[in-house]
Structure 1
């Protein structure tokens, strides 16, 4: 591309995003210029999309302008060169901005990021957006819950042993220290939640933390209590709990943003936080705490009543329905409920029951392994997914094995229900912290009830196995024969570590799968630009746990992203192909990827060109789906060869013929 065209695209992008002064920083991935926008209202989306050379626009945490591989790095570099910064560095403040506006700009920047994220989800319902926000608040805290919970569990075990006389009183100080560490999380959890809530809703994090601390009623004593204005009873520290803090901080964010607009810049930094804290502090103490306290008590009481009265029946229903809840994103509301139950009762009886859903998946996978042992593609998927499935990481089994096959997903849910029925029937089995499931949850089970939890796991394994073995095996999954629509040999008796050219006769105009996994419809991909095939005809694969990346064609490597998440090829026949590993994985700075080839290297179809740590991608909350794109699609007549099929390096995705029209 000529220098003039690159500069023109860079200039026109700036013109339609409100100029360089409206950009906080800029990076790029293999196809997109990604900008953090200060004020989204200044962005002309219609104008951006109309720029000659722009293929599409995506609104997310960053504004993403799709200009294509090979072009994006030149355009992005031209844009930062105009400003005088490096890629990823903060843009300098406008020369016309006053010094008093700097602090407000920092707040507006965060608010703009949240607003952009909200706009990107316009197609979702308000309920789904609320659930996503709740998830964003608690995900950063999950490692803390796990660590502190395990430490608290160790302290509880030692304390019980000391009471029983199995160890001496000289352990008491160690027990005290362990509890101090545990309480550093749970005693002040509302503060952490307040900070994270403020970040999620676009408010100042410190103000959110203060509102969380307000609910602790620091300084209030039984002799000088504060009273509930509705009932006259004394307010209790922590009343209203986590749910109340989230709601109060949401209101705080609304108030703070409005005050930033009303208060003059010269006094904004003094007046806005003072008025915000005063008004929301009073609102929290006298309105939110009483009302949220009633709601929280009622919610915890209702769930406890359901489990106590329903017993095994309630356990079956919860265990069987949890995975469908996950699919619809409804499970995210459970996190604050778990925490409230831990705060009020010392444990959450919900988590062990819901963990049985993963046990049902494990049992179903074992049945599939035995009944479909001739299907090497499927059994390879199961082998990769089972170890982490036992540890409670169920996504590989769900999305790579049972859900694509249909029946096994249903029978796995039945297995989860059986495990849940055992837990619910036994009763009094809870977790003292949230985070893991499967076998990894055993150390967090309360009061030595871990054996009952293990019985539940075994029931879930057995239930999923039996239901799947007799009722959940699709006939077309038993054999290793591939559908006739895919004109390639099966991978039976193929050495996956050998160069495929030594084993398989390859088509000269075929593009093959770059990872092992399950083909899914391209329209199901969460990224709009990918789903609508803006860059060219595409196929999507949800990978299994096999880490290898394979060359999809025989040809030359034309580009490799600095972060390793995207690789471009030009085949010996002229096809230009890009593989894009995961959605938004550019944000991981290359950590999950190890690429073993270089630009201009010649590769052979099926050659291992690198490795991916899929779990690191999933743990970051990102989608690992891998897209194969023919970026010069107009030059070919392209036929997609496979859908809803497990893949190996030798699975044909697309066949191409020169477009003579």
Structure 2
């Protein structure tokens, strides 16, 4: 019943704020769901306030819906789960209520959650940061690669038809135009990579483009070449490739940043770009191009050797390992390798092999669909993910279907290996551009080798299907009702975490003898009337009987009761206690200070700590909080006020840590 209440509150909040599509971001503090609303005209404030379980609504920079401690984290989690994002992340443009999600949207939402969870488990090592930078450099170029690659592929087909006499010479100019468009990307790729690299590394984009252009050696002729300082041979345009360009622009970013620090502002715009280009340009020509040229040539040669010698075995290993690489973010290093191979050989034989991993996913999903046909939730997700999976977009299948189930992910990898073995065994199958995968890659396969690629794709489908059908079906996926029964009698870890602040407090309160008690000031300073607090919900004492204190600049945070710390907000702006007498006391430090995300707060109290009145439980840099634009007023709120008769001491008095601000007597 409790979960039904949470789901209902989440659903009704969405219904009255214009739906998930009208929410940009959602977070929560200790009592409120805070939403950044796109169009406030769509919000029905009156009906929002009437929701059973909503204690109040504040329309500020964010729309704040008060549902109380313990409940708020559950409601907020349900709301973000429905659109497949984490707390604080931007909502997708097509976010909608779960009840109206299509199969495709449902699996994409789940895939987003699983992908985020996997990323959260991974440590951000220097290598991963480098790989992320590489990804950021090339992702903006992928549409250009796809478009130019397809145009180039059509031009190649028409050229072959022209040579064979299947079409007339009148097509020559049209074919030439298509090749010019294709070359607009690949001939000047170094410039585009230079600009994107500069954006990624914090250099001036125009200067990054110039450094990329330097590697093209414009104006250098065979009759008057520039020489390699290591062996005396003539440097060639593009030597070092895009790997060299990325490294050179990274050096540019370091030089430019130092120049900005050293050069006076009045002449910075003249001196910094001139000196940076001159220094890094010379460095690029005489050091980066020779060294990176050896590296890129060796890398391409090594991959070709592995594929030629290893054949089917190499194809199997590469096809089987690609999905784990994707899961750990290591696949990003392959992008510059693909492009370097296309620059040097006109194709990348790696991409068709690695694309087989997606084929294994498709085969595994079909096997799951057949074997788990009674699991309607799973099959609906597969229906939504399969079409895009066949077209080469694998994330919904990986993160929405196979990876969460475990075994099917492994058997899908086996299917990818089988497809890779077929491609590797046939040999000489490459792609002339990067971007698509799956069926969508067929038009980009070189030299009419698309039938071999299709054979590999079918082998991956079949391999993933057979391996999953016989060895990769989890029992709980076949019989979801058994899982549901177990779920009714088992408390999950997530449920335990999200309900801690409510259920533990309730248990303690129910088992604690009710006695008269006192609540002392949570900070030292000037007590003010609660109705003067700038937050209307707190001013109205919606959460319970409250006192408010404007703290002194040097005041620490004190425990207001003898009892136990039940929770501490992740952002350190609130602490919850249960006293020995049974009061549930929430100390809220400042107004809207949740937005500071813990900055300027240093709390030493932890959940489970036993405290006494007046004990210091933390410190706050009140001056910094005020300078940041936040009200420092701190409140002590008895959230189970209905269980006590409460007498508040007079307002507008100076309070110290031992000052009694509320007296409580158990209600009869």
For normalisation by structure 1, the TM-score amounts to: 0.58
Q: For the structure 1 residues 320 and 208, does the alpha-carbon distance in structure 2 shift closer, same or farther, using more than 3 Å as the test?
A: same
Corresponding residue for 1:602?
A: none
Corresponding residue for 2:220?
A: 220
Q: How far is the alpha carbon of 1:486 from its aligned partner?
A: 3.7
* Paired residues of 1:31 and 1:69 also in contact (CA < 8 A): no
Cα separation, 2, equivalents of 1:294 and 1:164:
39
* Paired residues of 1:375 and 1:480 also in contact (CA < 8 A): yes
Q: How far is the alpha carbon of 1:273 from its aligned partner?
A: 0.3
Q: For the structure 1 residues 443 and 223, does the alpha-carbon distance in structure 2 shift closer, same or farther, using more than 3 Å as the test?
A: same
Deviations 1:574-613 (A, max 9, x none): 99xxxxxxxxxxxxxxxxxxxxxxxxxxxxxxxxxxxxxx
Corresponding residue for 1:229?
A: 229
Confirm whether residue 258 of structure 1 aligns to residue 246 of structure 2: no
Q: For the structure 1 residues 267 and 54, does the alpha-carbon distance in structure 2 shift closer, same or farther, using more than 3 Å as the test?
A: farther
Q: How far is the alpha carbon of 1:377 from its aligned partner?
A: 1.1
Q: How far is the alpha carbon of 1:303 from its aligned partner?
A: 0.3
* Paired residues of 1:240 and 1:295 also in contact (CA < 8 A): yes
Q: For the structure 1 residues 399 and 443, does the alpha-carbon distance in structure 2 shift closer, same or farther, using more than 3 Å as the test?
A: same
* Paired residues of 1:55 and 1:535 also in contact (CA < 8 A): no
Corresponding residue for 1:608?
A: none
Runs of 5+ unmatched residues, structure 1: 1-27, 34-48, 57-67, 77-119, 489-509, 511-518, 524-531, 538-573, 576-631, 638-657
> SS where residue 73 of structure 1 aligns?
coil
Cα separation, 1, equivalents of 2:183 and 2:417:
34
Correspondent of 1:73 among 50, 61, 66: 61
Cα separation, 1, equivalents of 2:390 and 2:33:
44
Cα separation, 1, equivalents of 2:155 and 2:162:
10
Q: For the structure 1 residues 520 and 392, does the alpha-carbon distance in structure 2 shift closer, same or farther, using more than 3 Å as the test?
A: farther
Cα separation, 2, equivalents of 1:353 and 1:193:
25
Q: How many residues align?
A: 414
Q: For the structure 1 residues 382 and 208, does the alpha-carbon distance in structure 2 shift closer, same or farther, using more than 3 Å as the test?
A: same
Corresponding residue for 2:245?
A: 245
Corresponding residue for 2:449?
A: 449
Corresponding residue for 1:434?
A: 434
Q: For the structure 1 residues 522 and 199, does the alpha-carbon distance in structure 2 shift closer, same or farther, using more than 3 Å as the test?
A: farther
Cα separation, 1, equivalents of 2:259 and 2:443:
48
Deviations 1:298-345 (A, max 9, x none): 000000000000000000000000000011110000000000000000
Cα separation, 1, equivalents of 2:413 and 2:160:
37
Cα separation, 2, equivalents of 1:485 and 1:168:
71
Corresponding residue for 1:383?
A: 383
Cα separation, 2, equivalents of 1:69 and 1:335:
49
Corresponding residue for 1:397?
A: 397
Cα separation, 2, equivalents of 1:336 and 1:181:
21
Matches within 5 A, 1:19-168: 30-31=25-26, 70=58, 73=61, 124-168=124-168
Cα separation, 2, equivalents of 1:407 and 1:448:
37
Cα separation, 1, equivalents of 2:189 and 2:265:
34
Corresponding residue for 1:409?
A: 409
Q: How far is the alpha carbon of 1:166 from its aligned partner?
A: 1.0
Q: For the structure 1 residues 462 and 31, does the alpha-carbon distance in structure 2 shift closer, same or farther, using more than 3 Å as the test?
A: closer
Q: How far is the alpha carbon of 1:259 from its aligned partner?
A: 0.4
Cα separation, 2, equivalents of 1:447 and 1:301:
20
* Paired residues of 1:364 and 1:464 also in contact (CA < 8 A): yes
Corresponding residue for 2:307?
A: 307
Q: For the structure 1 residues 53 and 304, does the alpha-carbon distance in structure 2 shift closer, same or farther, using more than 3 Å as the test?
A: same
Cα separation, 2, equivalents of 1:190 and 1:262:
30
* Paired residues of 2:228 and 2:234 also in contact (CA < 8 A): yes
* Paired residues of 2:122 and 2:328 also in contact (CA < 8 A): no
* Paired residues of 1:377 and 1:480 also in contact (CA < 8 A): no
Deviations 1:163-211 (A, max 9, x none): 1111111111000000000000000000000000000000000000000
Cα separation, 2, equivalents of 1:307 and 1:206:
39
Cα separation, 2, equivalents of 1:287 and 1:313:
38
Corresponding residue for 1:644?
A: none
Cα separation, 1, equivalents of 2:392 and 2:446:
18
Corresponding residue for 2:292?
A: 292
Corresponding residue for 2:268?
A: 268
Q: For the structure 1 residues 168 and 130, does the alpha-carbon distance in structure 2 shift closer, same or farther, using more than 3 Å as the test?
A: same
Q: How far is the alpha carbon of 1:535 from its aligned partner?
A: 13
Cα separation, 2, equivalents of 1:372 and 1:635:
48
Matches within 5 A, 1:212-611: 212-481=212-481, 482-487=483-488
Cα separation, 1, equivalents of 2:359 and 2:57:
43
Q: How far is the alpha carbon of 1:255 from its aligned partner?
A: 0.3
Cα separation, 2, equivalents of 1:265 and 1:122:
42
Q: For the structure 1 residues 412 and 123, does the alpha-carbon distance in structure 2 shift closer, same or farther, using more than 3 Å as the test?
A: closer
Cα separation, 2, equivalents of 1:453 and 1:521:
45
* Paired residues of 1:55 and 1:534 also in contact (CA < 8 A): no
For normalisation by structure 2, the TM-score amounts to: 0.58
Corresponding residue for 1:203?
A: 203
Q: How far is the alpha carbon of 1:480 from its aligned partner?
A: 3.2
Q: For the structure 1 residues 238 and 535, does the alpha-carbon distance in structure 2 shift closer, same or farther, using more than 3 Å as the test?
A: farther
Cα separation, 1, equivalents of 2:500 and 2:159:
62
Q: For the structure 1 residues 71 and 280, does the alpha-carbon distance in structure 2 shift closer, same or farther, using more than 3 Å as the test?
A: farther
* Paired residues of 1:198 and 1:253 also in contact (CA < 8 A): yes
Cα separation, 2, equivalents of 1:206 and 1:121:
37
**Aligned CA-pair RMSD:** 3.7
> SS where residue 361 of structure 1 aligns?
helix
Q: For the structure 1 residues 252 and 480, does the alpha-carbon distance in structure 2 shift closer, same or farther, using more than 3 Å as the test?
A: same
Q: How far is the alpha carbon of 1:243 from its aligned partner?
A: 0.3
Q: For the structure 1 residues 32 and 455, does the alpha-carbon distance in structure 2 shift closer, same or farther, using more than 3 Å as the test?
A: same
* Paired residues of 2:26 and 2:33 also in contact (CA < 8 A): no
Structure showing greater Rg: 2
* Paired residues of 2:57 and 2:63 also in contact (CA < 8 A): no
